[in-house]
């Protein structure tokens, strides 16, 4: 055993445990509490396995699942940036790049290169795996929010135009899932859970 390599791997594993402490805005089913980043990633990975048949393109599932599992590790340093917080989103990229360098830098060089590369691939959203991972990243909170009667949308007075802008690339990973998501959106607009500001933009 290479002790230096082992020690760096263990250090990263223990550092990754801190992701369990990062709270997201989205609540778990039943609205009893907010979900954590690690729960979000686990749920996405499970969804990717279950829903892979709806990907627009064939994907390397193992690669996609690892990408999903590490995509929010940067939030250990950068914190969770709420999707509709315009001010926080202006500094998100800079904060997360700095976090990626530190966190993945704990690993041996070869593993740092692989995981940091997967994180960068996710962020770029150009490969079939990254596109499908992004679909899962957007679908998972929408499912929970719909199940919880739109409470996370109503509490933040979210407008449908904001949700549509956030989901501009969702269909690139799965047109079928995006069609289902649009049905959920329309239902929540009809139920008054989302502010329909689309007429104002025409």
pLDDT tens for 59-70 read 999 999 999 999
pLDDT in tens, 92-146: 999 999 999 999 999 999 999 999 999 999 999 999 999 999 999 999 999 999 9
| pTM (predicted TM-score) | 0.94
pLDDT in tens, 170-193: 999 999 999 999 999 999 999 999
Indicate the pLDDT class of residue 200, thresholds 50, 70 and 90: low
Give the integer Cα–Cα distance in Å for 132 and 71.
Answer: 13
Closest alpha carbon to 145 in 172, 175, 169, 167? 167
Give the integer Cα–Cα distance in Å for 30 and 162.
Answer: 24
Residues contacting residue 194 through CB under 8 Å, at least 6 positions apart = 150, 153, 158, 159, 160, 163, 185, 188
């Amino acid at each position: 055993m290479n002790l230096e390599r082992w020690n760096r791997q263990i250090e990263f594993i223990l550092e990754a445990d801190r992701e369990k402490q990062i709270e997201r805005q989205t609540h778990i089913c039943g609205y009893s509490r907010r979900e954590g980043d690690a729960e979000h990633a686990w749920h996405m990975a499970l969804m990717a396995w279950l829903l892979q048949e709806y990907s627009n393109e064939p994907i390397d599932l193992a690669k996609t699942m690892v990408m999903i599992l590490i995509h929010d590790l940067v939030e250990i340093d950068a914190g969770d940036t709420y999707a509709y917080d315009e001010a926080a989103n202006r500094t998100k990229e800079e904060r997360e790049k700095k976090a990626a360098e530190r966190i993945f830098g704990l690993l041996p060089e070869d593993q740092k290169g692989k995981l940091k590369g997967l994180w960068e691939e996710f962020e770029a959203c150009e490969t079939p795996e990254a596109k499908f991972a992004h679909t899962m990243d957007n679908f998972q909170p929408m499912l929970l929010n719909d199940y919880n009667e739109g409470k996370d949308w109503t509490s933040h007075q979210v407008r449908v135009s904001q949700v549509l802008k956030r989901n501009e690339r969702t269909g690139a990973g799965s047109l079928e899932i995006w069609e289902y998501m649009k049905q959920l959106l329309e239902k929540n607009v009809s139920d008054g859970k989302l502010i329909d500001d689309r007429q104002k933009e025409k």
